[in-house]
Amino acid sequence: MGYPTKLLGEGEIIEFEMKPHWRGLILPVIYLILTVFVGVWLFTSLGQWGWSADGIVETIGRPAIVVIALIILFVWVVRPFLYWITTQYVFTNRRIITRAGVISKKGRDMPLSKVNNVSFEVGVLGRILNYGVLEVTSASDENLVIQDVPNVEVIQRDVYRLHEQDDERRRRRSTEQGGDPYPPSDS
């Protein structure tokens, strides 16, 4: 599901968009496999352990195993997957947009005109799997830190390109309106 174009400004176009790196799904998949394996093993072998007090262990134990397995699956498998699938990083010709959340949404926009610096950090595992952290420093707001960015070095370069194109667009618009593209500073 792409970012809705109805939320874009006039003349704004999406240059590229992405989800967090797939590495965020490794642990949920491991938890899924382990929970299913251990749950099925416990469920099928519960009556063979010799503690049966007239079937009470089986009567209470099997539903308890199912409930515990469902809780584990929801907390450590479904919830991280839903977070991953609903998180978007969108880069337009005018701003950087981050959105995340299943029921309640959290988002942040940073205009490209406010970007001062774009840096990245890639750890050892990030070098192997090709992901990293992108940090965009703003002129006035707090920094925008985006975790688990795939191809982070390419994205950094593209953000610089988009920033330069946005500067050029704003300069052209200023000169077309008769303004000075480089107004004198107050310092």
Tens of pLDDT along the chain (187 residues) come to 688 888 899 999 999 999 999 999 999 999 999 999 999 999 888 767 666 555 677 778 889 999 999 999 999 999 999 999 999 999 999 999 999 998 899 999 999 999 999 999 999 999 999 999 999 998 777 899 999 999 999 999 999 999 999 999 989 988 887 766 555 545 4
Other Cβ atoms closer than 10 A to 172: 11
Q: Cβ(101)–Cβ(81) under 8 Å?
A: no
CATH of the domain at 155: 2.30.29.30
Name the domain count of the chain: 2
Q: Cβ(113)–Cβ(167) under 8 Å?
A: yes
Task: Indicate whether 161 and 94 sit together in one domain.
Answer: yes
Task: Indicate whether 43 and 55 sit together in one domain.
Answer: yes
Q: Cβ(145)–Cβ(133) under 8 Å?
A: yes
The pTM score is: 0.82
Q: Which domain holds residue 13?
A: 5-20+87-176
For every residue of 58-117, DSSP letters joined together read: HHHHHHHHHHHHHHHHIIIIIHHHHHHHH-EEEEESSEEEEEE-SSS-EEEEEEGGGEEE
Q: Residue 129: which H helix or E strand, with range?
A: helix 124-129
pLDDT at 132: 97
Task: Indicate whether 156 and 95 sit together in one domain.
Answer: yes
Q: Residue 185 domain-assigned?
A: no
pLDDT at 187: 46
Task: Indicate whether 135 and 57 sit together in one domain.
Answer: no
Task: Indicate whether 52 and 80 sit together in one domain.
Answer: yes
